[in-house]
Structure 1
Amino acid sequence: MSRLKVLVAGRGGQVARALAASAPADRIQAVCLGRPELDIRDAGSIARVVEATAPHLVINAAAYTAVDQAESEPDEARLVNAAAAGVLAQAAAARGAPILHLSTDYVFNGEKPDPYLETDTVNPLGVYGRSKLEGEQRVAQSNPQAVILRTAWVYSPWGKNFAKTMLRVADTRDELAVVHDQRGNPTSANDIAAALWAIALQYAENPKAIVPGVFHMTGAGEASWAEFAEEIFAVSSAAGGPSAQVKRITTAEYPTPTRRPANSRLDCSHLAAIYGVALPDWRSSTRSVVEELVRTKGWSA
């Protein structure tokens, strides 16, 4: 396969923007589409776009990600994260194209003391997690070449995310209270994009390289939200950007409409064993993103 044509669904999201910015143009033709060209909520739109673009591979980076808002918009969350994901997977399958589908740590309840394996029991705590889990199931049922990749705590120079929020608030305040009893794997959208392109390139070289199934894909290492914030501020301060003191608090002190998993850590050894893909340590990636945000004052965008 001389040049792989990849349809990326979800043009405006963090991962979609990272994919568009980093596509190896000499080997991959990335077609990144969102509304109005591709309305993921419309099955007819999905079918027309897949037919018109005729991709060799599809990446689904489109998602409803407003975790708390999903509690009051369950139908919308389910439409985007479950129904649309299944339709897109089926449309790809009709062309013989694999789909790389992004999912989340929120499929777990966070009660396990150790990092989660792909084989661990799923038990979402809220609407968002349930919609993403149903999306996984529909994608797997609709496409025999479905690669489902669960990630967590995604941040980037774009969109709404924890890193940008911390810098924006620190620009006007000296101290922030941040939860310290939830642990996970901060993951840069840039690293997710690099990993997705690595898998796509393996497929371009050998169509038999696609191994379907569920895989975990997060940054290496772990942190609490408070520790993540402290690292963000340390990097920002060194680069001349905003910083603040972090007051470590408990989840009970910061109630939200949706319960968050206390343990969001994912074991990513299966991805490394099958695809040879491992994401960098979260600290190095945080440094890269925060330095860019400071350089561009991107936290205020």
Structure 2
Amino acid sequence: MKNETPIQGHYDTSSVFVAVIGRPNVGKSSLTNLLVGEKVAIVTSKPQTTRTRITGVITRGPLQYVLLDTPGVHKPHNKLGKRMDKTASDSIADVDVSMMLFEPYGALNESEMVLVEALKKGGPAIAVINKTDLVKDPADLEARKAELKALGVFDDVYTVSVRDNDHCEELFDALSRYAVEGPHYFDDDAYTDMPEKELVAEVIREKALLYMRDEIPHGIAVVVERFKERPGTDLVDIDVNIYCERESHKGMVIGKGGAMLKKIASAARTDCEEFLGCRVNLQCWVKVKADWRDNEFMLNNFGFKQQPNR
């Protein structure tokens, strides 16, 4: 997927592959969505919202930016967690530049230092301090910038607020310096390589994460079983299975008199209609698959395939 070195002068187009990395909840998915201008990654305040590598594509004239939004790195507790961590570290090796996001405050944790170590071997990187809207004193931001520069792995340190869309546009210039001459890998009007079915599944998972209490949503997987346009109409029929790990969780996902499932499905349908540009008939069922997060076969079945190294 990454650019081979083309014959100079052969192309008038170029592309830059960017790994968006960092600890959970630092704003990777929010920044990806903002730069792409479309919702390609689901966003909640809970860690581990992004489970697989999601690609956002922005084409500006001859230059195509390909953002790989990776799972936040954390200590893995099961096979799904291990795969998520591997996805983040593998992405560093796959790209033209890594863009690592940081909070303005707090000590760098162990998983962040693991990524910094990986960057020492993994090609160029820039640092982005997000959430500048939370900075109390400009001197705090300067101190953080100095701390990141001192790590010796970042070409530059940028400061942005994704929430206020402040200084985010400057990242396009920053990333364009790492572009490689060659063909565009995606259609110029594409904004993601995720199939529509996967986008639907992710949106449903986002709503479950938003509406439910902490523990259960990580134990759910969403699989789209049917995605069919009705001939002669602007209506798509979508059937979805929501899998959880325990019978007790199933009851919670459905809710009293089906209220929770209805709430999740209704909010998801609104989002789906927006990005599909048509009406959606969404049917959701809840099923139990015990301990699927530790079952290799089910992880593959539910779409958490190991990324082949390119």
Q: Which structure is higher in helix share?
A: 1
Q: Which structure is higher in strand share?
A: 2
Greater Rg over alpha carbons, structure: 2
